[in-house]
Every structure is written in C-alpha cells, then in structure tokens.
Amino acid sequence: MMKKELKKKLKSMCEEIGTAAAAEKIDELADEVSAEFDRKVSEGQNELDVYRELLADVDRIRAMLESLPETEEETEAKERKKNAKKANALLDTIETCMWLLTVAAYFAVSFLFGHWHMTWLMFLSSAIGSVLFDMLRKYNKGIPFEKVMHEEFSGVLWLGIVILYFLYSFTVGGWAWSYSWLIFILGAVIEVIRDGLWKSKEP
C-alpha cells in the first residue's frame, strides 16, 4: 500500500511538471524507488518508516526532473499558458470593475435624471459584457473562435433583444407595446438560421 502511494506521488509529480523528458524518466525512477522500498523492508525496517524516508527524496527527484531540458514546443506551450493565465486575471479584474461601475452608474443616472423604469437595463448591458469576457477566456484556452461564437451567440442575441424590446417600448410607449414583442419572433428566426448555417458546415 505504501509502495503504491509512493509511485502514485511520483507519477502525479511528473504530470505536474509536464515535460516529455520527465515522462520518459518517471518509470525508471518509480522502479528504483520501489526496489529501494522492498530492500529496506526486507532488512527489517517498518513500512511506514521506509515510506517517510523515501518520501523525503521526492523533493530531490522533483528538482532533478525539473532540471531536465524542455523541447521548444514545451517551452512555447508553457509561455502560452502563462500568458493566458495573466490575460484571464486581467479579464477578471476588468469584469469586476465593470459591474461596480454599472451599479454606480445605475444609481447616479437614476437619481439625477429619474427614468428608473429604464435604467435597470444597464445591468442587462453589463451581462452582455460578461458573456463577451467569457468568450475571451475560452479563446485564451485555445478553443477555436468560431466554436466560441457558436456557443455564446445565443446569450448575446437574447440579451440584446430584451434590451431593444424594453428600450423601444418604453421610449415610444402607448401603442408600441402591442407589436414590439414581435422582436422575440425575429430573434427565434435568427437562431434557427444561425443553427442551420452552423450544422451545414459540419462534416
């Protein structure tokens, strides 16, 4: 049981390092640790003591694996991952600021100019912004832009339609409410056309 746990930790460490050189070396190291475990136990040492002793060597093994040379592709992949992480952190910060500014703008505009029945639409506008930020995050992860657009299109479309529906209906007023709901049918038509175009591109 203890020996299996040591091997599991070594393999997990190799996956974390993620280089081809480490992957090639890990089986050899696992066999060496396993043989050393068996040797010490056969000499009469307690399995738990041997486990703790060999576990202390894991850091040494990690340092050795991390010192192995990386391929050019692995170096580029690590750099892309690092840049994507920074980009996502920046997007999270901007999105948080966007919502704080939305709340501030909502109360400021509403108290200064009234129109409380319309100013709440600011939150729907910010929701569109959140969908766009989510699209950027997915694109940063390497998902093709066309696929990202397909997955997130509906969210942007229907939020936009709701905003247009209320803006037009509140602005024109009166008789506008009797037919402005037709914009939802238009949205459904756009969805069907978009879905049909996407499926036609599939092999």
* Residue 82, phi then psi, degrees to nearest 5: -65, -45
In a domain, 38, yes or no: yes
Would you say 187 and 157 are in contact if contact means Cβ atoms under 8 Å apart? yes
In a domain, 127, yes or no: yes
Angle at 202 between CA 199 and CA 203, to 5 degrees: 140
Q: Residue 68's pLDDT is what?
A: 57
Do 11 and 37 fall within a single domain?
Answer: yes
In a domain, 188, yes or no: yes
* Number of alpha carbons in the 13 Å side-chain half-sphere of residue 9: 18
Do 61 and 83 fall within a single domain?
Answer: no
Domain encompassing residue 40: 2-66
* Residue 191, phi then psi, degrees to nearest 5: -60, -45
**Confidence band for 154, pLDDT divided at 50, 70 and 90:** confident
Among the candidates 66, 88, 114, a domain finishes at 66
In a domain, 74, yes or no: no
- CB burial readout 108-126, b (16+ within 10 A) else e: eebeeeeeeebbebbeeeb
In a domain, 73, yes or no: no
How far apart CA 63 and CA 187 sit, in angstroms, is 57
Among the candidates 66, 93, 112, a domain finishes at 66
Do 119 and 57 fall within a single domain?
Answer: no
Do 8 and 107 fall within a single domain?
Answer: no
Phi-psi region of 200 (alpha: psi -120 to 50; beta: other; left: phi over 0): alpha
Do 89 and 56 fall within a single domain?
Answer: no
In a domain, 192, yes or no: yes
Tokens standing for 80? 């892309």
Mean pLDDT of the chain: 79
Do 62 and 118 fall within a single domain?
Answer: no
Q: In this predicted model, what pLDDT tens digit does every residue of 100-148 receive, in sequence order?
A: 999 999 999 999 988 888 889 899 889 999 988 888 888 887 788 888 8
Better pLDDT: 50 or 20: 50
- Which residues lie below 8 Å from residue 187, measured CB to CB, with a gap of 6+? 157, 158, 161
Q: In this predicted model, what pLDDT tens digit does every residue of 26-74 receive, in sequence order?
A: 666 677 777 777 777 787 777 777 667 666 666 666 666 666 565 666 5
Do 104 and 61 fall within a single domain?
Answer: no
Do 106 and 172 fall within a single domain?
Answer: yes
Do 113 and 157 fall within a single domain?
Answer: yes
In a domain, 156, yes or no: yes
Question: Which burial class, exposed, middle or buried, applies to 149 when counting CB atoms under 10 A from its CB (0-12, 13-18, 19+)?
Answer: middle
How far apart CA 27 and CA 30 sit, in angstroms, is 5
Tally of structural domains, the chain: 2
Do 51 and 91 fall within a single domain?
Answer: no
Do 32 and 90 fall within a single domain?
Answer: no
Do 26 and 117 fall within a single domain?
Answer: no
In a domain, 72, yes or no: no
